[in-house]
Amino acid sequence: MPSKKKTAGSDNNKTTDLNKNTLDSTGEFMRTNHGTKINDDQNSLKAGSRGPTLMEDFIFREKMTHFDHERIPERIVHARGSGAHGVFRVYDSTMEQYTRARFLSDPSIETPVFVRFSTVAGSRGSTDLARDVRGFATKFYTEEGNFDLVGNNMPVFFIQDAIKFPDLVHAVKPEPDNEMPQAASAHDTFWDFISLMPESAHMIMWLMSDRAIPRSYRMMEGFGVHTFRLVNANKEATFVKFHWKPILGVHAVAWDEAQKISGKDPDFHRRDLWEAIEAGQFPEYELGVQLVAESDEHSFDFDLLDPTKIIPEELVPVQKIGRLTLNRNPDNFFAETEQIAFHVGHVVPGIDFTNDPLLQGRLFSYTDTQLIRLGGPNFQEIPINRPVMPVHNNQRDGYMRQTINKGKSSYHPNSTGGGCPFQAKFSEGGYTSYMEKVDAHKIRERSESFFDHFSQATLFYNSQSEPEKNHIVDAFRFELGKVTNPEIRQRMLGIIRNIDKNLATQVAYGLGLDVPVIPLEAMNHSVPADGDPADYQPTLTESKLASSRFLSMQNTIKDSIATRKIAILAADGVEEFSVAQMKELLEAAGAVVEVVAPRLGHIKAWNEQEIMVDKSLLTASSVFYDAVYVPAGTNSIAALAAEGDAVHFLNEAYRHCKAIACDEDGIELLRHTYFAHVLPAGDAKNAVADPGVIIGNKLADLAKRFIGAVAMHRFWEREKPRKVPA
């Protein structure tokens, strides 16, 4: 049969091969699964541009339902995860004036929790160290019901409206024609989508920063992302954003290091969390809140309901109100970590929602996806999902029902069961939604207050230290360097140019391209009314802040080496006292110390004492440690100098900007490394050869200076400064 010429939006029936059931969408209108043409695939149906999403939006429900059910049995996103049990306790009763949620206002209550950390894009078998967003989801088993704070380690998101979530995930997942690449955003479809969605600009800056490759789950922040409401006993509401602040500070690995860890131990984060808890080094986080009075809702130059925006901490400080401690590993990974079901709609009295269109969509999506993933409507009866109090209602039967309900009545109102179970009044703790007035037209549209996509992206970049900016440049060069379509690269450079011209210039230089000149107004849209982006020419507001110190990891906590892993590099002939004393001093400061040698078993010190070896150079690598110490012993130094893997261990640690300490004897080993040129000549006693490279002959003093260096985490100034023409 001769082919028919395709025209844009053609209504002609397509010729398909029924045996293969193939379909080519080129030149066709978008339709629902039931054949209705779709006028707007960018916005969910809302009551006014800033109003709540409406349940009648059949286009959104169909799209999201299909997306939620398209993978079994693992999660579609956040499939790669690790979890732990713990407890949460609020510090005092300060929050009582803002919320009637007792677990947030009564310091006498210790609330059990389960936390699941995860990557987003990869499958269950992918690496922990992919450049990716990290999930930080917490289930509070409160006396008033389960509250799920389902967030990420980044405070913003890629999209403003949940109707685009399936598109985002489809774009970042392995490409459908060849199922590549796994757990990576460095490919055409992701950057094609991002380059056409300027609202993603702020999130992309976070993703290209070191926040996307954390050192540990124990050393990353968590954010609720959305603006929620707190409601007090007088039914008065306050806007709130939730934060988790790690006690150990916020730290990252180097990108080269992340790639090597992925090959050597893809379970690095999972193992780190498990081993820390098993060793009694319990991860801790403080819960913080940013509170905004309802009267101040429109006081900012951004919209509180926009999930691609933060509230800078200079404008609204984070108040730390309680502490989370993770103190027990799961007994069974599948039964607990894999079967736990989070949902942003699991709230308790005193916590309510806003009209954030991404949050509104999540309120539908989470329950829907659990129905297929966990086999039916009774997933809340799985032990890890059960609330701590008995549940009484009129829901019955269904797949895998566990509860055996007594009596005749399974309806309300009833007289056969004495009217039970009863409804609870507000004064009796019954959940009552905040009485927000909504008076608007039904419309598929986005509020103009959501149109500024670049100001906060620029704020984030301006807030970074020079090393962090260099890492962002490298990340963009790597990611876009993997893109095969030059048009996508060029289009993405246009996005970056509107964030920072110098950033775009440096990225373009690495890609061998010129920076395009694209008017900001032409890119600052996300809501084509009838498919034409040029319809939107918003007037942008400028950020009141040039930078924020809270956005740079350079300003994180650097006063402790608790739980840091330190390698003692040794061989036969080492000085036993040098090993034992340094290990004792480091462990007293909270570090985890391991002896790494050319072989497993034992090595013999110069005095014939046997020293147990924890790891060999064959199974260990510098990327598993935060710092390295080379103890005294001329024979040990000579043996290590002749061992290529030992020299590489030190070279790699130096390249990744880690602290390195050695006894005076050890300088001879350092002279075999590629950073020998930074070592002092002549008398090396108590020398600081380079930031973070410490040499000494008095062990106690050397240990003190080494501990101070390890606490700094990294010495990024070793990296060569960029010299790219602006």
- C-alpha dihedral (316, 321, 327, 331), degrees to nearest 10: -80
Q: Nearest-CA neighbor of 579 among 493, 415, 699, 698?
A: 699
Cα–Cα distances (Å) from 495 to 43, 476, 507, 523, in that order, read 22, 12, 12, 7
Strand ranges of the sheet holding 693-696, from the earlier edge strand across to the other edge: 615-616, 592-597, 565-569, 627-630, 659-663, 693-696, 688-690
Alpha helices by DSSP H, 154-298: 165-172, 188-195, 201-207, 255-264, 268-278
- The reply to whether 78 belongs to the active site is yes
Residue 630, token pair as written in the block: 């080379």
The token pair at 693 is 């490279």
Q: How far from 356 is each of 162, 246, 284, 370, CA to CA, in Å?
A: 9, 27, 30, 22
Annotated catalytic residue within 43, 78, 251, 329: 78
Q: Give the separation between CA 133 and CA 184, rounded to whole angstroms.
A: 11
Q: Are strands 610-612 and 615-616 parallel, antiparallel or unpaired?
A: unpaired
Could you give the CA distance from residue 113 to residue 153 in angstroms, rounded to a whole number? 18
For tokens 């059990």, name the residue: 112
DSSP code string of 507-571: HHHHHT-PPP---HHHHS----TTS-GGG--PPPPPPS-S--GGG-GGGS--S--TT-EEEEE--
**What is d(CA 183, CA 171) in angstroms, rounded to the nearest whole number?**
12
Tokens 């023409």, residue?
A: 725
Q: Which residues of 376-387 are buried (b: 16+ CB within 10 A; e: fewer)?
A: ebbbbebebbeb
Phi and psi dihedrals of 59, rounded to 5? Answer: -70, -45
| HEC profile of 580-617 | HHHHHHHHHCCCEEEEEECCCCEEECCCCCEEECCEEC
The two structure tokens encoding residue 545: 């802040």
Whether residue 518 contacts residue 498, with contact meaning beta carbons closer than 8 Å, is answered with: yes
Catalytic residue, from 43, 146, 152, 498: name it: 152
Can you tell me the distance from the alpha carbon of 112 to that of 145, in angstroms, rounded to the nearest whole number?
12
DSSP β-ladder status, 228-231 and 351-352: antiparallel
Angle between helices 486-497 and 188-195 (to 10 degrees): 40
Is 474:254 a contact under the CB 8 Å cutoff?
A: no
- Find out whether 244 and 220 touch, Cβ atoms under 8 Å: no
DSSP string, 69-122: TSS-SS-SSS-SEEEEEEEEEESSSGGGGT---GGGT-TT--EEEEEEEEESSS
What are the helix and strand counts (H, E) for the chain?
A: 17, 21
Angle at 136 between CA 96 and CA 431, to 5 degrees: 40
Contacts of 495 (CB under 8 A, 6+ apart): 194, 195, 198, 201, 204, 523
Instruction: Report cis status (omega within 30 of 0) of the bond before 181.
Output: yes
Q: d(Cα 498, Cα 491) in Å, to the nearest integer?
A: 11
Question: What is the largest distance, in Å, between two alpha-carbon atoms of the chain?
Answer: 96
Q: Extract the runs of DSSP E, i.e. beta strands, from 649-701.
A: 659-663, 688-690, 693-696
Respond yes or no: is residue 19 known to be catalytic. no
Cβ-contact 86, 325 below 8 angstroms: yes
Beta-strand pair 688-690/693-696: antiparallel
Catalytic positions are: 78, 152
